[in-house]
Structure 1
């Protein structure tokens, strides 16, 4: 009897002996699923080392498979493929190995991969000890097409497929074709351009005539679907399955539970899109609860006129975080012949794309484009009356919010209140914001660039600031100054700005207006009078105008009107955004009340709005969703913030475990070079400052920022505004010229560089840096 090897289907091939992958393959093969034949090298073999007995048993087991047969040699740690952690991609696999000596060498390399940097980082992150290591040796499936499938994503089965061996899909090196199969057998397919494929010797180019060709026929999709359903039934839970097709026969190469959750929150799996978390990502900087995502989808459908274009999503949920689909926006621009204008207008809003990032356009026929434009045009026309009554409507919806919060607290019919009052109010706020944002976002950039040519960067910055007293985003900060001076009561402050906070779209987060001590903490942390900072910048603005008029009166007169008009647009947009955020506070009240009357309390945040309505009608079946969603939520929150720009199928777990990951950009279609030594972003607010960098991941750590230090963070929003007077300069990963950090910094006269992509990962906390807000650069001095 062998001590160090076991047949693939052995009853003894449990997790402790054969590792997670090996035990799963044994279970699949024993159940009659098409698993390639082979054997296990047990955990005892690694503990013994590659001695004579181990070598002899591996040699004998390999030769029993045939003469010089090509095999796959795959690591199988005892912690792999569990329901809570998967270790996907952390340990080594070797394909096309031939000969006993080569197999033995590959086994030893698999053993060594237990201690590679990637695996150690993953173990540290998920909090487990160093596991045992087995190895699986199997016949190589020389697949013509392969990939992965997820047996349950929102009630559907999803298949990702690419040419060649499966490493390009599992490893994220190519954007695969995507086939979504519902329970009735209907198939939705997204065909990508597949530029590379994996062979036994590595990546090779895909022949040109195959790059845009579907990898699977309908019959193959349904055959894989049948296998996926069998595997799901066998394990009693949704599964992540790796597969390959060789000589027209499908094989199952691996199956693991969908880690820690029944739901995968990842819309990047749906096709080759370019995603950005700029703009609205400022308001939703954290992982969203399911209820928040459900209302954000409604918000975006109203604010963007439609939630999708020709079947492609306008926005997505990637690992619980919000992203906009730039591929959709650029495809619309291309179809209208306005691609240059659209690109120019997107940059001030979403930021500059990382070097080398390309926007894949949607492969749509002209008829599809035309049909997709119809709801957009209708929606734009529908906004006209909202734009006309904006000035009258905003005060009215503000009063309506007060009334609704009172009604929610006492209502015995939350369903009726939602249908009849809360939802219509919410959607009106969304449309008012959409109407206020119709103006060209690129107008400020155009003005700034022209003014810099005329008067220089410093005066251009001063000329386009000085409006802070009228900006809603400055209100929470200036209001603190008014409270301190005794000009504003605490109650009035809470009523006007109690809805603004760092995570103001997340319904599970308490608002400042709910915390009686919040205002005291903010006043205690106010190091400099914000009103004096504002007055200082207004004086600088007036002085810049005097110089402009003296040296170039003709252009000064021309640009005065343009700047005033732009400031009015910004003021209207910010006021409308404030009311949209206030609406989320009203929604939070309604959701919390629903949690109270149904007896589930805070668990209500793990249900979508439609499910809460079902629960209110007595459907307790939705409660079964809560545990798996809570696990998903906390899992995604354990990962670092994802890159600001993502292309293709993004794997949050694999990215987080990579010690060499980039925090600005992830591209599943190609490898990425390391960033160079310089840190560049947008010129947010002019000025040059040298000082100590304080990296602040969240407002919860704001107390670590001392007066005069440089604030370095991922993203800011209105909830961060009270921190700005304490900072000598501001640097953000996410942002653009129209972002919160840039606007507020300009008004306060604080140098700012926004949208750097990865400053938080490249600047050490406490390092001395030089921030040039005019050039948009940050230099690390030590």
Structure 2
């Protein structure tokens, strides 16, 4: 018969399936010589015996499971083991009885507080009853919901029960060995209150708070401590009203706790959430430790000193993780881009030195820019355009003495800029944009043709040749597509010049940027709308999206719809949601999103067609140009024609801003198609289970895999990591290498209107629709889209939106540009918009003031 009771000294970290997360940690802490009160665990075998026959499906699953576990008889052998083990701790010794689930205190999900704890339990029968109630707590509604939100199978979870000698605590509480709010590592945060720690853990008291870093106490904050939980003679606890003045810990005790926390963290190699108690004799006890699962993981350090990282994912509107192959592709792209400034790395697959990965997301190392004079001048200006909320965060970093200016000379910057301008042929391209606009526009088309030619791979290419081709085109992508940007920058530069010459603020000239030509994203959206007006509506009004996909893939849609959708996907099928990750399927592979959008268009009563809105935008742009030119004439006759010229060029070129990304995504889609062929080859070799698995390898690993082997276990591990990161709700914009999230140091208040960054002028009041994922989303005409961020995969929703509110972005971010072109009011960079606004609320968006007001 399997063992049902184990002493802490018999437990190690590898026994998770037998003893659960809490007991495994206590066993490991005991073995490490840390001051853990003695105890034992009733293993999952005992739970299995009692839970036999328990059904794990059905609407009333939680209620049925709880009732079964509370009413089923405890096997005699199990009861005898409990009584004997309890006696081994002493005669009627007070104990804490705690749940220890196999899905608990894990590196990615702590499950803190999800199962029950019973304190000051006295007597063998009382312990048996507390064990039974612990078993039942595995099936509380909150525990079931938590498992579901973390993707953990109910049927796979078992419960062990920890029985541990109680500490008669004079003072107790919790300690984090990293600051859970700011993320700063090695900064201990201690909450303490008189009596048992349950008062602090449960949030029943305002505790004293201390912050400690490197032995220095940074903060001492006295809470009111109006409540204490104390043990009762004979068992149980009571809540006692208190009014203890001052602090409940001495500085010596605070430093002792921080030192203990450092020992625990050093043992596990990761920040820990601990519970502790100090008894009446002044002895410090550690009663629990588990990983802090909410901290964002740090990039691997490659250089000494404090580093500053900026999120590529946030600025690109892709909050989720990238696949390993997606990360690998960007490393190669970054290496090619670095070559323009003369810094091409020897190892292309390793990427440029400024790009790193953490949390399966991409980060730029901005440390050199933050610590240099040119960087401090340019960074805020650049961030204002793309990610305005990061500007104040970065500017505060300039005041951090650890990030003082270390590079005061501008010569290295100027040399790099000169190399970049020379390799990009910047002066020639700007001159062409100013003097020969037709040739400048034709050059962008030629760039696309050159790209298409480079992306072709012969059908006879071997897997190794396909990998050679992928590395070659990825390394050459940035230098090719960035050649469009001098023309775009010329357009926006002339826009600023027109503002200066006319005296009209840029914000008042925003209508000039409406309905711009040559923007592939708006052209795509308008074509999708026109497509909805041409095709047979019947199936789209009658069938579900999965049924539409099935009909399309089998060629069973009506002839016109079948043909027109195929033509649309031939032109735009390389796009998709989170399209910067080549590991993500394109619309051509999974057309459900596009078919769903068409169904939404065909089911709604349309107002003004987007094509007419676009034409109206062109008229408003012309009227605005005339107005600005007239204002300029008042300041000097020569100014009017210059302003007309400048704004004419702006309208020709500003829409090209989306073209480099359009070409980048086309490159990624082509490489993806080729890598799927390589994946099929690896399936044939027995290396992978499916061709899609190749995206959970990087380029180097894929090449090595051509020699054979078995990478299925690695792929399974990578997929699990990817899925876990997909559930992460918070990704910092800026992250320091010590773990600090600078934005968390000064969170905005939650009262009154919500302020963001003005993005597209106008005021609209309407019903909010919070959308976290555009796939399958439905937006009624006039509803205000509230979302974390956007990439081109979101923009079909813009055609019916009355306004836009985004958590991320700046005035030149993708969502802001498209909103302006469609003439819908927009505010971006709105902190926590998707949490502070709920679907169905009426809100007012003032795109000129950058405010969002929730109607009460």
- TM-score under structure 2 length normalisation: 0.63
Corresponding residue of 1:531:
611
State the 1:398 CA deviation: 2.9
* Aligned partner (choices 383, 398, 411) of residue 346 of structure 1: 383
Q: Select between 287-296 and 203-212 the one with higher mean Cα deviation.
A: 203-212
Q: Which one of 631, 635, 658 corresponds to residue 574 of structure 1? A: 658
CA drift of 1:468 comes to 1.4
> 2-side partners of 1:461 and 1:370: how far apart?
37
Q: How does 1:616-655 map to 2 (within 5 A)?
A: 616=706, 618-637=707-726, 639=727, 641-643=729-731, 645=733, 647=735
Q: Which residue of 1 aligns with 2:234?
A: none
Aligned pairs for 1:416-427 within 5 A = 416-419=465-468, 421-427=469-475
- Partners of 1:530 and 1:710 in 2: how far apart? 16
Of the candidates 291, 295, 298, which is equivalent to residue 329 of structure 2?
295
Provide the rounded CA distance (Å) in 2 between the counterparts of 1:776 and 1:459: 14
- How much does 1:586 deviate? 1.4
Structure 2 stretches of 5 or more lacking a match?
Answer: 48-68, 72-82, 168-172, 194-206, 219-254, 276-284, 346-350, 430-439, 535-562
C-alpha separation in 1, matches of 2:183 and 2:472: 40
Q: Where does residue 694 of structure 1 map in the other structure? A: 769
Which residue does the alignment assign to 1:26? Answer: 27
* Higher alpha-carbon deviation: 525-534 or 119-128: 119-128
Is 2:110 the counterpart of 1:87? yes
Structure 2: how far apart are the matches of 1:17 and 1:522?
49
1:472 and 2:520 correspond: yes
**2:422 aligned to which of 371, 375, 384:** 384
Q: Is the 8 A contact 1:346 1:442 kept in 2?
A: no
Question: Contact (CA 8 Å) 2:336, 2:477: kept in 1 or not?
Answer: no
Among candidates 659, 667, 672, match of residue 588 of structure 1: 672
For residues 584-619 of structure 1, what are the alpha-carbon distances to aligned partners after superposition, in whole Å with 9 as ceiling and x for unaligned? 111111221111111131111111111111112x14
Q: Partners of 1:440 and 1:167 in 2: how far apart?
A: 52
Q: Secondary structure at the match of 1:512?
A: coil
Q: CA deviation at 1:292?
A: 0.9
Deviation at 1:718, TM superposition (A): 1.9
Alpha-carbon distance between aligned partners in 2 of 1:258 and 1:642, rounded to the nearest angstrom: 14
Provide the residue aligned with 2:803 in structure 1.
729
How much has 1:717 moved relative to structure 2?
A: 2.0
Cα deviation for residue 169 of structure 1 reads 2.8
Work out which of the residue numbers 172, 184, 199 in structure 1 matches 2:180. 172
Report the 3-state secondary structure (helix = DSSP H, G, I; strand = E; otherwise coil) of the residue aligned with 1:689.
strand
Aligned residue runs from structure 1 range 304-453, under 5 A: 314-322=354-362, 324-325=363-364, 328-329=365-366, 331-336=368-373, 338-353=375-390, 360=397, 378=416, 381-382=419-420, 384-388=422-426, 394-396=444-446, 398-403=448-453, 406-407=456-457, 409-412=459-462, 414-419=463-468, 421-434=469-482, 436-437=484-485, 447=496
The aligned residue for residue 204 of structure 1 is 210
| 1:134–1:316 Cα change, 3 Å | farther
Between 1:623-632 and 1:549-558, the stretch displaced more is 549-558
Alpha-carbon spacing, 1:423–1:378, altered in 2? closer, same or farther (3 Å): farther
The answer for the alignment partner of 1:769 in structure 2 is 843
Distance apart, 1:738 and its partner CA: 0.5
The partner residue of 2:149 within 81, 105, 125 is 125
Q: Say if 1:564 and 1:252 are closer, same or farther in 2 by CA, change over 3 A.
A: farther
Q: Which string of whole-angstrom CA distances, capped at 9 and with x for unpartnered residues, describes residues 225-281 of structure 1? A: 99779xxxxxxxxx998899xxxxxx999888999xxxx993358697665547764
Q: Is the 8 A contact 1:320 1:633 kept in 2?
A: yes
Between the aligned partners of 1:173 and 1:762, the Cα distance in structure 2 is: 19
Rate the CA distance shift 1:113–1:691 in 2: closer, same or farther, 3 A.
same
Alignment correspondent of 1:282: 316
Residues 533, 203 of structure 1: alpha-carbon distance in 2 compared, 3 angstrom cutoff: same
Distance of aligned partners of 1:627 and 1:363 in 2 relative to their CA distance in 1, 3 Å threshold: farther
Query: What does residue 544 of structure 1 align with?
Result: 624
In structure 2, relative to structure 1, the CA distance for the partners of 1:483 and 1:765 (3 Å cut) is: closer
Alignment partner of 1:739 out of 798, 809, 813: 813
Structure 1 position 505, deviation (Å)? 1.4
Does structure 2 conserve the Cα–Cα contact (< 8 Å) formed by 1:307 and 1:314? no
Q: Deviations over 1:74-109 (max 9, x none)?
A: 965324547696426557999xx99x9xxx9xxx9x
2:297 maps to 1:266: yes
User: In structure 1, the residue corresponding to 2:366 is in which secondary structure?
Assistant: helix
Report how many aligned residue pairs link the two structures: 678
3-state SS of 2:845 partner? strand
Alignment-derived partner of residue 757 in structure 1? 831
| Structure with greater Cα Rg | 2
Which string of whole-angstrom CA distances, capped at 9 and with x for unpartnered residues, describes residues 99-130 of structure 1?
x9xxx9xxx9x989999998676345235669
Out of 504-513 and 114-123, give the one that drifted further. 114-123
Give the conservation status (yes or no) of the 8 Å contact 1:20–1:76.
no
- 2:790 maps to what in 1? 716
**Structure 1's 457 and 205: CA in aligned 2 closer, same or farther, altered over 3 A?**
same
1:406 & 1:443 partners in 2: Cα distance? 34
- C-alpha displacement of 1:536: 0.3
Native 8 Å contact 2:174 2:192 kept in 1: no
1:291 CA displacement: 1.0
CA distance in 2, matches of 1:89, 1:352: 33
Q: Which runs of 5+ in 1 are unaligned?
A: 49-55, 141-164, 178-191, 230-238, 245-250, 652-664
Q: What is the CA deviation profile of residues 721-741 of structure 1, one whole-angstrom value per residue up to 9, with x for unaligned ones?
A: 232221111222222111122
Counterpart of 1:188? Answer: none
Match of 1:182 in 2: none
Q: Secondary structure at the match of 2:830?
A: coil
Q: 1:729 to 1:241 in 2, by over 3 A?
A: closer
CA contact (8 A) 1:686 1:774 kept: yes
Instruction: Please name the residue that 1:151 is paired with.
Output: none
Whole-angstrom distance in 1 between the partners of 2:645 and 2:372: 34
2:681 is aligned with 1:597? yes
Aligned 1:107-122 pairs, distance under 5 A: 122=146
Question: Mean alpha-carbon deviation: is it higher for 361-370 or for 707-716?
Answer: 361-370
Residues 765 and 258 of structure 1: is their aligned pair in 2 closer, same or farther, counting only changes over 3 Å? closer
- Aligned Cα root-mean-square deviation (Å): 6.0
- CA offsets, 1:31-87, max 9 Å, x none? 677674632486999999xxxxxxx999998899x9x9xx9x896532454769642
**What is the TM-score with the length of structure 1 in the denominator?**
0.68
> How many angstroms does 1:356 deviate by?
7.7
Structure 1 residues 547 and 674, CA gap change in structure 2 (3 angstroms): closer
- Relative to 1, partners in 2 of residues 1:41 and 1:426: Cα closer, same or farther, differing over 3 Å? closer
Give the SS at the match of 2:758: strand
For residue 385 of structure 1, give the secondary structure of its aligned residue in structure 2.
Answer: helix
Q: Does structure 1 conserve the Cα–Cα contact (< 8 Å) formed by 2:629 and 2:644?
A: no
2: distance between equivalents of 1:446 and 1:204? 53
Distance 2:356 2:415 in 1: 22
CA distance in 2, matches of 1:671, 1:139: 40
- Aligned-partner SS, 1:769: strand
Q: Distance in 2 between matches of 1:585 and 1:432?
A: 16
- 3-state DSSP class of the match of 2:700? helix
Q: Deviations over 1:642-675 (max 9, x none)?
A: 2453545899xxxxxxxxxxxxx96697695763
